């Protein structure tokens, strides 16, 4: 069963549609790769997906434990290599709101959840994943 469709719109731009919700995402090639850079690039989406996945899986663990992590934010930096052109690393800084439990047990649960999210486990091992947790 297909879940998404992606259409090429020309000028190095695509439009992806999530079929169940009809939500759409536009991508552009980045400026340094012949594009306009007016939207996420496909590699931006990969890095952003990692952060979103980490936060989602931490949210599941927080809900199971009755913790409130609403407002957690991720700053994401994608590192590209040039030969071959590919993602070589992703740096993520997760900043938690004051409502997040700050004890060792909670931190361990949340950090383990983030680092074992499906996107983190799906990325090639050569892609460095650097994650900082700020409570």
pLDDT confidence of residue 116:
98
pLDDT for res 111: 98
The span from the first CA to the last CA of the chain, in angstroms, equals: 40
Element (H, E) at 48: helix 42-65
Structure tokens, 19: 């079929």
Compute the C-alpha angle 10/76/90, nearest 5°: 90
Burial class for 77, CB neighbours closer than 10 Å (0-12, 13-18, 19+): exposed
Domains of the chain listed by start with CATH number = 4-33 (no CATH), 42-134 (3.30.300.20)
Strand runs labelled E in the chain = 4-10, 13-18, 24-28, 73-82, 85-95, 128-134
Instruction: Check residue 93 and give its pLDDT.
Output: 98
Residue 76 confidence (pLDDT): 98
Q: Could you read off the pLDDT tens digit of each residue along the chain, which spans 135 residues? A: 999 999 999 999 999 999 999 999 999 999 999 999 999 999 999 999 999 999 999 999 999 999 999 999 999 999 999 999 999 999 999 999 999 998 999 999 999 999 999 999 999 999 999 999 999
This prediction has a pTM of 0.95
């Amino acid at each position: 069963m297909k879940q998404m469709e992606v259409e090429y719109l020309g000028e190095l731009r695509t439009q992806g549609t999530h079929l169940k919700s009809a939500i759409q995402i536009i991508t552009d090639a980045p400026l340094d790769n012949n594009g306009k850079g007016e939207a996420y690039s496909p590699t931006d989406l990969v890095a952003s997906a990692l952060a979103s996945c980490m936060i989602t899986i931490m949210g599941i663990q927080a809900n199971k434990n009755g913790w409130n992590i609403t407002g957690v934010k991720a700053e994401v930096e994608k590192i590209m290599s040039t030969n071959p052109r590919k993602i070589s690393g992703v740096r993520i800084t997760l900043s938690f709101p004051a409502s997040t439990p700050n004890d060792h047990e909670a931190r361990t649960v949340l950090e383990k959840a983030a680092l074992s999210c499906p996107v983190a486990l799906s990325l090639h091992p050569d892609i460095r994943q650097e994650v900082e947790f700020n409570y």
